[in-house]
Chain A
Amino acid sequence: MFAVDPRRTSSVRWAELWAALDVGTDIALANAIGREIIAAGLEHREFIENATTGFDDYRRTVEPYTLAYAERESGVPAATIRTMAHEYARARRAMICWTLGITEHHNAVDNVLALVNLALLTGHVGRYGSGLNPLRGQNNVQGGGDMGALPDRLSGFQHVENDEFRAKFERAWGVTVPPERGWHLSQMFEAMERGDLRALYVIGENPLQSEADQNHARHLLEGLDFVVAQDLFLTKTAELAHVVLPASAAWCESEGTVTNSERRVQRVRKAIEAPAGARGDLEILFELARRMGRDWGRPDAETIWNEVRRLSPMHAGMSYARLEKHGGLQWPCYDEEHPGEMFLHSRLWERPLHGPRVGFAPVEHDPPVDKLDDEFPLRLTTGRRLEEYNTGVQTSGYHSPLRRGESLDVSPEDADRYGLREGEVVRVRSRRGAVEVPIRRDDGLRPGLTFMTLHFPDDVATNLLTIDATDPKSGTAEFKATAICIERLGV
């Protein structure tokens, strides 16, 4: 296992090799690995020739990414990069897994494409034990997208701008589906800024505390004409809402399905009764529809699921009975005889190739938006801790012995350089805001790198610091790269 992470995490302790890159230099590193693989003649020529397009463009793009350049840019020693390149290319099976360290950047999609290019270059995709694996951070973030909770997709990733797909849904639903894609979350905030978006219906999210550049997010949310919040709790976002719809907990107070990181659709089941006044999400939506003059019938999870199966070919074979019997099924699962696909893209190994080739997507390194300078010399990156979860809405209630509240984690070198004591409360300032937070020395951090979580926003609103520079394709903000300075209090 190779660990590529700015911090020495607990996973790094198990790794054969740690590439401690500077935050936001992923493409410099990935392109250098690609260049080295080509230079050493280790690319998978048969796969490239038969299943891909654009290899020559890719080779030209990565040509300037020498090991020396990548070492200068990323801080990872050239020999380490070379080892990673050779071992990855030579491995019989190899997979690349990533999480938000790749995607919470202003060039998130480019970061992912840089990794996809490496898999295409070596043929480590579409085969057992190989592949590209975004490890999902929430129990149904995969399922939400699969079900069409994306601005440009209907269920089963069917693009809303494809006339044939849209017509199928229009026939089934008896309504006209808007023929153009909608806004993703970041575009919604931009639309609020322009005054184009005046009302917001938030289901199960706490954007007031989870969005980057929190002061700005609050300002925009407060400026809306009408906000509805549907949630288990009176979150900070719900406090600001004009209408709050108390919902039950989807995972233990109602029936349905979620889809995990390996595309496995799994049943969630009702184990306890919801508190009085709280209703299931389905029931709330059905009741809203009724008030708007549409009777959708009985809000029953299995009935809805069977509608999904009729409209989304990749879910067609997943009856509740089969999900029960097999302990969940992995999509695509086209009919009731289909076992589901345990890994994707195996068609790329069929000769002659079955279906279209896949293209290399050359991308260039583009460092974080929030630049380090003399005033803001330290890099702040954010993440989670084992026992906590996001803004703490779900985890603040249980008594974890591991919990130690928010801190600004700094390297021992920086702590000494700035004369910071363990536990000393300092003011952390970015170009957007400031928070006061205790110092914690962490020898897993290298000089210049600091770390905070988002878990205790009522105590320390880390997102007052973060930048809302977003990736134009995914809409994800650059939570991972903030420039900060530390100011001692009362000195």
Chain B
Amino acid sequence: MKVRVWGSRGSLPVALSAAGVRGKIKAALTAARGRTLADDNAVDKFITEDLPWETSNTFGGNSSCVQIDAGGAEYILCDLGSGLREFGVHMLAQHGPAKPQTYNVFLSHLHWDHIMGFPFFTPAYIKGNHIRIHACHPDPEAAFRRQQSAPCFPVGLDMLGAKIEFIVMQPGTPITVAGSTVTAMKQYHEGDSFGYRFERKGKAIVYSTDSEHKQENKSETQSFVDFFRNADLVIFDAMYSLADAISLKQDWGHSSNIVGVELCRMAGVKHLMLFHHEPVYDDAMLRRILQETIRYEELERGGEGPALTISSAYDGLELDV
């Protein structure tokens, strides 16, 4: 299985500012001072090996959209945030407009940042494409119709050329889609959200965003440990610091890097991917949070048991599972 992240930001898309770009250029030029960098290879090597990641890269700013490539002909997507637009561009470049495709979508919930990319998803305008939107909320179609109604957007849902289906799933009842077994689980978030576990040929990926873990009783914690159990990858809402998540931002429906480490360690997960990044954080802060999370895992493990691999999602990240 393979994961491609098209949007990793929480709540609101953001863009790197002019000041941010200038800061990266200045940092790169400062680091290059005194070097010859005589040819393109030397420049590439310098960028890849010598510059800090937050200088040579960016986490990006699109809201939630993750592709899960399970090896089948049909596509699987988790959420339809603003990252979906770029996925659509990629699809047209890869297949052209004349070759119909089937897209299977799994929605964590219907908040705007998780569906806002759909009106800009070019394949939805092309006859022959088939879009199957799975959700655990009772009437997901209403949210899409509202989003594509005046005065919000000029093109109504009925004007789209693709065949669009809305499929309501039941949490805890697995279904088979595009060769994967998919199971949903209810999560704590305003209006409810749902995580999804994708399993195929002994591999498991869990997509669990917009989920607050209050850990008020052991059964609640255990239910997530069971859902995450032995997963090869858990994509986890780590939007807030723990202090914020249990004080100022309690009941805002998001979790922390620390709880992500603890749940994944209890569940025997192999790889934790931090996701749904706070929009006010810049690349340096998100990189710092990743390093701190890796350190917390070392402290929490105390040298016992297998290490948990930890990464932080960024727009454009591809990962083999």
Report if A and B associate in a common complex.
Answer: no
